[in-house]
Amino acid sequence: MYAILDIETTGGKYDEEGITEIAIYRFDGIKILDQFSSLINPDKEIQPFVEKLTGINSKMLRNAPKFYEIAKRIIEITEDCILVAHNASFDYRILQTEFRRLGFLYELKTICTVELSQILLPDQPAYSLGKLVRNLGIPFSNQHRAHGDAKVTLKLFELLLEKDLEKKILKKHIKSSTPNKAPSQYLNLIDKLPSEMGVYYIHNQNKEIIYIGKSNNIKKRILNHLTGSQTKSINLQKNISEVTFALTGGELVTLLKEQNEIKINNPIYNKNLKDRTFPIGIYYEKTESYALLNIEQVRENKKYISVFKNKKSAKLALSKWANDYGICLQKTSLFKTEKKCFNYGIKLCDGACIGEESTEKYSKKIDVLLLEYSYPFDNFLLISKGRREGENSFVYVNERKFKGYGYFELNHQIKSYERIESRLISMEENPDVQKLINSFIKRKKYSKLISLES
């Protein structure tokens, strides 16, 4: 649980500042659960430059509550939270100072979005809150007011959580529970989970991610794991300590995120998926005469027309291609003879097997096939629904290579390559990814396909 915080102060000497305004959002990583915002009467003068910067003056604060009057509310809304702020050491110090004046020890773990941004967004030209969020295309109003700065810090933190592919934030701060719980004790764990689409992470008592999965109903899927009798379910039941999750919105982003994070984190109970979802490929081999189409185990750094879960699926696809595109069976790994192929006898092959068809004509058939299984544009965005109302997700392909995915609320946030890159959660292109994206395009399972061709 996170408490996203911003504080405005009077300015002045170190540790003599007073709070003039505070805003806090209680955030579970997915949605805002509670919020609090208030002006505060600091009982001291505001420095002129601060007044000019924030627009807050002494007259506005005359009837505002004193800090001791809202201290209890601050404790309630930040209870069991990690405090998140832009330049967290400043906001946390000011808050601790105010509580210390009341004789109260106030201690929380903190996360600084400046430091996180420098790690996860290393190419940004500036890390002040205003410049950073503008470069990221995040709308920002009421700058230098606590409620405005806190709200935009929350938006920034949400992006950073998505960028944190190795789950360093989660691994560092996740609360451990007692291992080997009895089935009845799982109820508290399950109650915290959403019945929505996303990727989930099962942790052991050492905070390690031991399994990553996806589901259109996370709560239901975890319940299946905890009541299942298969070997994997039993192992998870013995080792589960906590479940975290990330809502994803669209199905394509969910699939891409799951397979990418399994590869990065290599959880012990994802052994079957840590290498490839589609381990068998059909590749195109150009020769001096007729092109060849062969089936093989997928290899690194090799381009495939398409990939498949097993050899049977690959053979069925290659056979269908031969029928649909007039491809000669002898020029594939399906037919191991130099005689005329079976399809020639039923007039589905134009005679490449016996040299009757010209190599130029045959090459055109292969070109049509390759075009059918390639991306529709060199550069494009595939838009789908986001994690909440008013938000969209995008999948980004640049120069026919998948670059990653991201989220946006307003069209101007993705109107340029720079804006796209700034909101991008980067991933590497691989045959699995291309298969998934092409599959969604062919089935038209998207809201919008935007060509970025100039």
The ranges assigned to domains in the chain are 2-163, 175-270, 280-372, 380-451
pLDDT-derived band at 174 (thresholds 50, 70, 90) equals very low
Question: Across residues 27-48, what is the average pLDDT?
Answer: 91
- How do residues 193-208 score in pLDDT, each as one tens digit? 888 899 999 999 998 9
CATH class, range 175-270: alpha beta
Residues whose CB falls within 8 Å of the CB of residue 376, separated by 6 or more in sequence, listed in order: 441, 449, 451
The full 3-state SS of 216-267, as one line of letters, equals CCHHHHHHHHHHCCCHHHHHHHHHCCEEEEEECCCHHHHHHHHHHHHHHHCC
Q: Above 60 in pLDDT, residue 91?
A: yes
Question: Worst-scoring range by mean pLDDT, 8-22, 62-76, 224-238, 271-285?
Answer: 271-285
What is the per-residue pLDDT for 340?
86
Specify the CATH number of the domain 2-163.
3.30.420.10
> For residue 66, how many other CB atoms are within 10 A of its CB?
13
Question: Across residues 85-106, what is the average pLDDT?
Answer: 89
Q: Above 80 in pLDDT, residue 355?
A: yes
Q: Do 2-163 and 175-270 have matching folds?
A: no
- How do residues 284-341 score in pLDDT, each as one tens digit? 988 888 999 999 999 887 889 999 999 999 999 999 999 999 999 999 988 877 788 8
Higher-confidence position of 257 and 413: 257
Pull the structure tokens for residue 440: 């969604």
Percentage of the chain surpassing pLDDT 90? 50
CA distances for 430 relative to 40, 272, 283, 294, angstroms = 54, 17, 14, 19
Pull the structure tokens for residue 120: 């996860």
What is the per-residue pLDDT for 171?
61
Q: What angle do CA 393, 413, 3 make, to 5 degrees?
A: 75
What is the per-residue pLDDT for 185?
59
pLDDT-derived band at 95 (thresholds 50, 70, 90) equals very high
Q: Above 70 in pLDDT, residue 169?
A: no
Higher-confidence position of 352 and 338: 352
Question: Across residues 237-264, what is the average pLDDT?
Answer: 92
Question: Across residues 357-376, what is the average pLDDT?
Answer: 92
- The pTM for the full model equals 0.70
pLDDT-derived band at 179 (thresholds 50, 70, 90) equals very low
Q: Above 50 in pLDDT, residue 182?
A: no
pLDDT-derived band at 365 (thresholds 50, 70, 90) equals very high
What is the per-residue pLDDT for 176?
33
Q: Is 217 exposed, middle or buried (0-12, 13-18, 19+ CB in 10 A)?
A: middle
- How do residues 382-401 score in pLDDT, each as one tens digit? 999 999 889 999 999 999 99
pLDDT-derived band at 177 (thresholds 50, 70, 90) equals very low
Higher-confidence position of 281 and 141: 281
